[in-house]
Amino acid sequence: MYNDIALGLVENGFECIVLTTTPHYNVIESELIKQPIKKKLFGLYSVSSFKGITVYHIPLKKYRSTLLRIFSFIYWHLFSFIFGLTFRNLSFVLSPSPPLSIGFVSLILAKLKGAKSIYNVQEIYPDLLINQGSLKSAFIIGLLKKFEKYIYDNSSAVTTIDQVFYSQISSRFKDVERLHIIPNFVDTALYRPIKSNLEVPAILDPVSDKIKLIYAGNIGFFQDWEPIIYASEELKHENVEFLIIGEGVQKKYLEKMIFDKGLTNIKIYPYQNRNFMPSINNLADIHFIIINQEMEQEGFPSKVYTIMACAKPMIIVTGKKTPLYNFLNGKNCAEIITENRNQEFVNAIKKLARDQHLRIQLGNNGYNYIKDSYSKEAIISKYVNLLNSL
């Protein structure tokens, strides 16, 4: 997404500099070849070029040791801040959440450089950490909430992706006029309906004539995996199969559950090159997204946009009054399940698997909506207008 925002701003007359990490998570070697990174000052930082945009990389590594990961995390923030002070003629500093600490570094950097800071809330912190049980200390929770409020009240603007998010955090602002809704978007030139000649990785073996249910993304705590295991057991004699593509902290758990239960209709694959994703999206007969009930208020899976742009139907499991439900409700592009998750997920699979006409209808409804309202060009123009207004 930030690749496209940077390119879109350049196309609208802005000069962009990107300050980020070194690649350290789900690294795809072919991408490193296309965008080679050159070390500078004995590896203290590196430089690459993304379609003419200069990218500075400060080292960050995903160590196994918690202590080393904390050290690397602190080092990245500190050195990024010092490195950012060397940039001249800054007008704006745009940064995403999570984590809160990036918003703080960006805010202080902007103030010292006489620039405007824009904080983009993709997930609500510290709420997400609290709700998933990772954070229980009342002292630290109180500290992070003050940290969050400081960033909100001192940024030139804060953007969030959904009306539900807006409603959830608006009371935390001293001046709510600083808060704007700018949703995420999809590159409709890249993600589009493809009827034939799908170019998918050989590892996916698209020869099977079974109805394919696909999830592609992070295999983490934000997703609820129990309904998938349940559905796989219930539908083991049906003409359906589950393809899960990605990496994450819950992958080993999922693999163990599949092995222990002897499930043969679920296959797990590693992350694939982004260039294959339009074809992978189109390979699916049905896409599914199941959100963990404890965290469904704090995040929005932007893969929904790319699925809709490929005119594919979805089965969505999420609670009411969540960002995802709020976005999809009334658009008639997905089967939305809000209760009795396990059995209703199975029922929805049977319903769509047996009705090709319904699958096509839901997919077309989603496609028509997304291309009109959530194209890359439409949303980037909102960022341009916000910057110009500041």
Using CA atoms, how far residue 21 sits from 45, 57, 318, 367, in Å, is 9, 5, 33, 34
Identify the CATH assignment for 202-373 out of 3.40.50.150, 1.10.10.1200, 3.40.50.300, 3.40.50.2000.
Answer: 3.40.50.2000
Radius of gyration for the alpha carbons in the chain, expressed in angstroms and rounded:
22
CATH number of 2-187+375-389: 3.40.50.2000
| CA–CA dist 184, 4 (Å, integer) | 11
Query: What is the pLDDT, as a whole number, of residue 132?
Result: 67
In the chain, CATH 3.40.50.2000 covers 2-187+375-389, 202-373
pLDDT per residue over 99-119, tens digit each?
888 999 999 999 999 999 999
**How many CA within 13 A on the CB side of residue 5?**
20
Query: In sequence order, which residues have a C-beta less than 8 Å from that of residue 276 and are 6 or more positions away?
Result: 199, 200, 201
Helix axes 341-353, 226-234, angle to 10 degrees: 50
Query: In sequence order, which residues have a C-beta less than 8 Å from that of residue 361 and are 6 or more positions away?
Result: 332
Query: What is the pLDDT, as a whole number, of residue 356?
Result: 95
* Ranges under pLDDT 70 in the chain: 26, 132-134, 205-207
| CA–CA dist 345, 347 (Å, integer) | 5
Determine the Cα angle at 101 with ends 63 and 83, to 5°.
Answer: 80
Query: What is the pLDDT, as a whole number, of residue 318?
Result: 95
| CA–CA dist 265, 386 (Å, integer) | 48
Our CA dihedral for 28, 32, 34, 40, rounded to 10 degrees, sits at 160
Helix ranges restricted to H, the chain:
2-11, 29-34, 66-84, 100-113, 127-131, 138-154, 163-169, 226-234, 251-260, 277-283, 303-309, 323-328, 341-353, 356-373, 376-389
Query: What is the pLDDT, as a whole number, of residue 127?
Result: 78
| CA–CA dist 91, 389 (Å, integer) | 13
Query: What is the pLDDT, as a whole number, of residue 159?
Result: 95
